[in-house]
Structure 1
């Protein structure tokens, strides 16, 4: 029942004069209901946001776990192939580029900045640039780590 219907009902049942005297109480009651509904809606919205945040956090954790496992497998394959440290670094940068590339898109070496390469490999900017260039060539040649 909305406020207009409630007002009409009160006026019919007890008369206009008495209704005018109790209308402030009716308005207060109605305002309280609106506030309670608003608070309940906010609680529902907050709960939904918290659930979504928890799901997002779980999805991110699973993605990090999959990435770590893929990295572990790639390192094991590199060990088996007896790659040089330079080749390993180039492949690591290639994997970084692939990780930064959205699904279905062509890998773009510019997807990672040189600072990220420098930090990941503890190398100078020039060496990082060389590794990124070599990784781009490796990716253009079809390199994709196997899972």
Structure 2
């Protein structure tokens, strides 16, 4: 395998955090490639109905060599409404590789176990995330990368 990207989608903990984050979630990507020149990722975006919407990067690590692989961890915010529509999470590597598929989204993304504020919000147009609330989520959920 030449390249891979693993991802984690972190939803807000409750309805208050959901509103404070501007109805966004956080995505952690762990990218691995055999070709050092492909990192860092050039862009990460969601393809929704044929429209590519770039995601805002919060942070990325340096590139680390792990045996014959090169790895990088990065974090992005994503409007939750995009995860509830038919769409794809894609990345462009530095160099020639474009449109690398990471995951798909859709109306069945969240089952009954998902928080009601995510599943049932009919007015889920995103706003700007409050930076202090975003930082609090990152410290709580990803303590290996973010400390108080």
Q: With the length of structure 2 as denominator, give the TM-score of the two structures.
A: 0.27
Greater helix fraction, Structure 1 or Structure 2:
1
Q: Considering only CA atoms, is the larger Rg found in Structure 1 or Structure 2?
A: 1
**TM-score for the superposition, normalised by structure 1:** 0.27
Name the structure with the higher strand share. 2
